[in-house]
């Protein structure tokens, strides 16, 4: 048994800061806090003196005035797009054809897939992310590479083979049968192994025939404990394309629902242009949507209605959506969510932003209390933030009149320099 005590400021949540009670009622900030970690699990979060007196022989890690938080959970990203992040000038369909599909074709090479998987996780953890939900490519090798790389770090991750049998290059097409067979084999190989979770992954309805959607829908019905991840209502031209391909469907969500791809563990990226029926059905099914703010602005998709969807009671996660998203940093992603909120007339509180990047994303993948949570019994996946990491941030923090005033400049201007340390599964990364 190993015991470690992390000393510093702590921030934890015991509820949703978007709820009726407000952020004040559900947040707990300790200026002189401590976290006890034992064998990869958080055993105690309390005032410094209380934790030290309870476990006097534990190893101590004193982070001074730095903030100890649950590690960030990136609820939607594409690790195969790491190398093409920040590519110029295209919107969704052109982005796929010009950048994404040529790059994803390279992942038939298991060596290349392993190289990019390791790079992605390295970049993510450098920015304080301790869990990822990722699309892979159609190649089973890409799935093995991602889960192998995550296992080396003991990271909790969610991923799956992307399924596409139309409207993609020949080298990136599978079939309805191979999508089912490959996904089932990979699921049986990886789901529940260590901290790996399989996610059934049709890219989006335009790149799957009805036969393929039905096949992966059948697989999900056989394994309802898995996530199912896809895209929904990202750009206006995409919506028109979906109506052309599925003229019998009531709306975009119905192209999934008709084939058994709407359920409690459904994870729908973007969800910008939802109709009232879609919102009601997502809520009724307890499905999740994921806000991808840097991607939505970078490729010109639109402004996600975070406040409106939260008021409807939907589960909402936060994500970088790399490489359509322009940063690996969840701090930058929080800042973009704040900026989009301002454009919609809502100034998100720092508590709401941090909650989205931790607890909110964990709820979106139905792992609340396990990841993204600074509380007893949760995995010891932690990020320690220096709230004075740059001169620009420090000079603003020096004038702070409250903890939230001191935290907000790091949310808005912080990057990997703000990440002093990352712990995954109770182990500090070097």
Q: Are residues 60 and 189 in the same domain?
A: no
Q: Are residues 253 and 318 in the same domain?
A: yes
Query: What CATH number does residue 28 fall under?
Result: 2.30.40.10
Q: What is the pLDDT of residue 95?
A: 79
Whole-angstrom distance, CA of residue 128 vs CA of residue 19: 26
Q: Are residues 340 and 300 in the same domain?
A: yes
Q: Are residues 111 and 63 in the same domain?
A: no
Query: Residue 12 belongs to what domain range?
Result: 3-71+372-428
| Structural domain ending residue among the three candidates 364, 388, 405 | 364
Q: Are residues 105 and 169 in the same domain?
A: yes
Q: Are residues 215 and 349 in the same domain?
A: yes
The number of beta carbons lying within 10 Å of the beta carbon of residue 193 is: 12
Q: What is the pLDDT of residue 207?
A: 98
Query: What CATH number does residue 164 fall under?
Result: 3.20.20.140
What is the DSSP secondary structure assignment for residue 359, as one 8-state letter? I
Structurally, the chain folds into a number of domains equal to 2
Q: What is the mean pLDDT of each run of 10 residues along the chain (430 residues)?
A: 94 95 93 98 98 96 98 98 90 84 95 98 98 98 98 98 97 97 98 98 98 98 98 96 97 98 98 98 98 95 97 97 94 98 97 98 98 98 98 97 97 98 95
Whole-angstrom distance, CA of residue 368 vs CA of residue 305: 23
> CA triplet 151, 11, 126: central angle to 5 degrees?
35
Q: What is the pLDDT of residue 90?
A: 79
Q: Are residues 360 and 277 in the same domain?
A: yes
Quick one: which H or E segment has residue 180? helix 176-190
Residue 393 near residue 93, CB atoms below 8 Å: no
- The Cα-based distances of 222 to 58, 90, 188, 218 in angstroms read 45, 38, 12, 6
> CA triplet 381, 386, 388: central angle to 5 degrees?
165
Q: Are residues 305 and 246 in the same domain?
A: yes
Q: What is the pLDDT of residue 20?
A: 85
Q: Are residues 150 and 186 in the same domain?
A: yes
Query: SS3 for 146?
Result: helix
| Structural domain ending residue among the three candidates 319, 339, 364 | 364
Q: Is the pTM higher than 0.85?
A: yes
Q: Are residues 268 and 380 in the same domain?
A: no
Q: Are residues 37 and 90 in the same domain?
A: no
| Structural domain ending residue among the three candidates 364, 399, 417 | 364
Whole-angstrom distance, CA of residue 317 vs CA of residue 329: 15
Q: Are residues 412 and 397 in the same domain?
A: yes
Half-sphere exposure of 104 (CA within 13 A, CB side): 29
Q: What is the pLDDT of residue 96?
A: 85
């Amino acid at each position: 048994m190993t015991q470690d005590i992390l000393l510093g400021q702590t921030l934890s949540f015991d509820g949703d800061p978007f709820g009726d009670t407000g952020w004040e009622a559900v947040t707990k900030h300790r200026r002189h806090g401590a976290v006890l970690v034992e064998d990869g699990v958080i055993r105690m979060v309390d005032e410094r003196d209380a934790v030290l007196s309870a476990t006097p022989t534990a190893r101590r890690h004193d982070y001074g005035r730095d903030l100890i938080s649950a590690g960030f959970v990136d609820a939607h990203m594409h690790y195969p797009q790491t190398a093409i992040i920040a590519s110029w000038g295209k919107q969704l369909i052109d982005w796929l054809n010009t950048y994404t599909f040529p790059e994803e074709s390279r992942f038939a090479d298991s060596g290349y897939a392993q190289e990019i998987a390791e790079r992605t996780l390295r970049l993510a953890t450098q920015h304080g992310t301790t869990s990822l939900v990722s699309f892979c490519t159609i190649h089973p090798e890409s799935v093995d590479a991602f889960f192998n790389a995550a296992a080396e770090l003991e990271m909790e991750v969610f991923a799956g083979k992307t399924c596409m049998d139309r409207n993609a290059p020949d080298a990136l097409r599978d079939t309805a049968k191979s999508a089912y067979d490959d996904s089932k084999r990979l699921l049986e190989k990886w789901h529940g192994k260590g901290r790996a979770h399989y996610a059934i992954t049709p890219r989006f309805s335009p790149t799957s025939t009805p036969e393929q959607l039905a096949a992966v829908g059948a697989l999900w019905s056989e394994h309802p404990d898995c996530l199912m991840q896809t895209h929904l209502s990202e750009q206006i031209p995409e919506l028109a394309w979906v109506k052309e391909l599925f003229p019998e469907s009531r709306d975009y969500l119905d192209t999934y629902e008709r084939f058994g791809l709407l359920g409690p563990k459904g994870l729908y990226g973007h969800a910008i242009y939802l109709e009232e029926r879609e919102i009601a059905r997502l809520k009724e099914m307890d499905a999740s949507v994921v806000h991808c703010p840097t991607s939505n602005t970078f490729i010109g998709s639109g402004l996600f209605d975070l406040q409106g969807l939260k008021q409807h009671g939907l589960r909402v996660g936060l994500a970088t959506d790399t490489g359509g998203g322009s940063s690996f940093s969840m701090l930058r992603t929080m800042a973009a969510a704040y900026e989009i909120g301002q454009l919609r007339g809502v100034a998100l509180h720092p508590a709401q932003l941090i909650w989205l990047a931790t607890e909110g994303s964990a709820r979106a993948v139905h792992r609340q209390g396990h990841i993204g949570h600074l509380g007893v019994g949760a995995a010891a996946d932690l990020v320690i933030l220096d709230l004075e990491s740059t001169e620009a941030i420090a000079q603003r923090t020096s004038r702070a009149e409250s903890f939230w005033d001191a935290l907000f400049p790091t949310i808005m201007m912080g990057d990997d320099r703000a990440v002093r340390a990352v712990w995954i599964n109770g182990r500090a990364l070097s």
